[in-house]
Amino acid sequence: MEPFCGSCNVASKVHIKNKILNDKNPYLIAMFQALKNGWIPPTEVSEEDYQLTKRNQDIEPHVAGFVGFACSFAGKFWGGYARDTKGGGTGNYALRGHNSILKKMETLMDAEFTCKDFTEQSYNNCIIYCDPPYKNTTPYYKKILGEFPYDKFLEWVNEQSKNNIVLISEYKHNVPDNAYILLEIPSKTSIRDKDGNVIDTVEVLYTVNKNFSTNLIHISNIKAKENNVDDIDGIINF
């Protein structure tokens, strides 16, 4: 189960039949639900198409979910029309997104997609993987999602950990005192503290389940190095 499934980079690699994939962004979930029902995303999206879809995103929310992410700069929802600036022209980001999402759907057709706040969810005997917005980073589409309630999230994690295995990704300097770190990966992303000083970051996978067995999750640092993987999503496989 994932309460913040995003683009399903992890879920598409998880070899478990029963998957519940949730995200609070209604356009993203509308896209995944449409894909399950046979919708095929476009392979070409012009800048005019991009702006028109943005203005009318509630008419076809599944299309907005695809265009808003796949065709935006750095994959940020409605973050500006993506261009291949290094090549001097316009890269076909729609085609890349089309191919990528259809490949992911090969392992997601049996998944249940929901659109709820994490506080509305409670489970038993599940593996819950949480990839929330990292603390003290730019909020993800604040217009819809608002400020992320980190304190409330940690309370939820502690409660859900009583009857589930809960795994969370976050920057190391943000993990709570009761965390058990399972994996650390130096990140290529640097951030600045409140005084403007640059801080090198380390991504971690942690749990608050004291008796968690690492035999339930297969993590290979060697594989990460061989494939030049620099984030948690790239090497998790249940």
Q: What is the pLDDT of residues 7-63, one digit of tens each?
A: 999 999 988 889 999 999 999 999 999 999 999 999 999 999 999 999 999 999 999
What span, in angstroms and rounded, lies between the C-alpha atoms of 71 and 82?
6
Question: Is 136 found in the same domain as 53?
Answer: no
Question: Is 147 found in the same domain as 79?
Answer: no
**Domain final position from 105, 128, 143:** 105
Question: Is 216 found in the same domain as 129?
Answer: yes
Which structural domain, as residue segments, surrounds residue 137? 11-24+116-234
Half-sphere exposure of 130 (CA within 13 A, CB side): 26
The answer to the question of residue 152 being in a domain is yes
Question: Is 70 found in the same domain as 80?
Answer: yes
DSSP 13: G
Domain count, the chain: 2
DSSP 216: G
DSSP 196: S
Question: Is 178 found in the same domain as 163?
Answer: yes
What span, in angstroms and rounded, lies between the C-alpha atoms of 67 and 44?
10
Question: Is 125 found in the same domain as 74?
Answer: no
Higher pLDDT, 135 or 196: 135
**Domain final position from 83, 105, 127:** 105
Question: Is 34 found in the same domain as 60?
Answer: yes
The answer to the question of residue 84 being in a domain is yes
User: pLDDT of 88-105, one tens digit each?
Assistant: 455 799 999 999 999 999
Given a contact cutoff of 8 angstroms between Cβ atoms, the answer to whether 180 and 207 are in contact is yes
The answer to the question of residue 99 being in a domain is yes
The answer to the question of residue 3 being in a domain is no
Higher pLDDT, 238 or 1: 1
User: pLDDT of 104-122, one tens digit each?
Assistant: 999 999 999 999 999 999 9
Environment class of residue 76 by beta-carbon count within 10 Å: exposed (0-12), middle (13-18) or buried (19+)? Answer: middle
Question: Is 131 found in the same domain as 96?
Answer: no
| Per-residue pLDDT at 235 | 46
Question: Is 30 found in the same domain as 20?
Answer: no
Question: Is 194 found in the same domain as 99?
Answer: no
The answer to the question of residue 176 being in a domain is yes
Question: Is 130 found in the same domain as 53?
Answer: no
The answer to the question of residue 91 being in a domain is yes
The answer to the question of residue 139 being in a domain is yes
Higher pLDDT, 199 or 7: 7
Question: Is 163 found in the same domain as 144?
Answer: yes
User: pLDDT of 125-149, one tens digit each?
Assistant: 999 999 999 988 876 666 677 789 9
**Domain final position from 74, 105, 136:** 105
